[in-house]
Amino acid sequence: MTPRVVRAAGVIAALQGSLALVTAVVLVVREIAGHHEDAISGYGTAVWFAIMGSAVAAAGWALWTGRRWGRGIAVFANLVLLGVAWYVFSSGQLAYAVLVAGVSVSVLALLFSPPGLQWLTQAGDEAASSDSSGPDTR
């Protein structure tokens, strides 16, 4: 059974991914409406947000349903978001920086909590057990 802390991290990661997907849609709508940036491509940035948002949303779903592969994506994404929070802080936006950092630290704390780590290590013990007399089905 998936621990509550992992499910909670999955919900937050799914919301993070969903926000990235919403950002992608907003960027495309702005580009279609005629708002063009000189320094960046609205469409290209939207594609990046769509790819990353899809991966993080899928990781959230995976954590919610007890699939361990989602943990690596969620951890990586939230470590990157800590860097984003630092950048936002250095840009003078303290409230946004605290919000982004707080959510990222929360996800990392949930995934690295004792129940989350126990859930992760139990998979390795079950899969690599020599007590099984049947064929290896990994």
* pLDDT value at residue 39: 80
| Residue 28 counted as domain residue | yes
What is the phi-psi region of residue 36: left when phi exceeds 0, alpha when psi lies from -120 to 50, beta otherwise? beta
| Residue 133 counted as domain residue | no
Which residue do the tokens 């990661």 mark?
13
Model confidence, pTM: 0.84
* pLDDT value at residue 135: 58
C-beta of residue 51 within 8 angstroms of C-beta of residue 77: no
Which residue do the tokens 């990994």 mark?
138
CA distances in angstroms from 106 to 50, 74, 82, 98, listed in the order given: 23, 12, 11, 12
* pLDDT value at residue 134: 54
| Residue 67 counted as domain residue | yes
Our CA angle for 95, 19, 3, nearest 5°, is 95
| Residue 129 counted as domain residue | no
| Residue 130 counted as domain residue | no
Which of 70, 53, 52 lies closest to 110 in space, CA to CA? 70
- pLDDT tens series, the chain, 138 aa: 899 999 999 999 999 999 999 999 999 999 999 888 778 888 999 999 999 999 999 999 999 999 999 999 999 999 999 999 999 999 999 999 999 999 999 999 999 999 999 999 986 555 555 555 555 555
Which residue do the tokens 């990353």 mark?
52
Q: How many domains does the chain have?
A: 1
| Residue 104 counted as domain residue | yes
| Residue 137 counted as domain residue | no
Write out the residue range of the structural domain in which residue 116 sits: 4-124
| Residue 69 counted as domain residue | yes
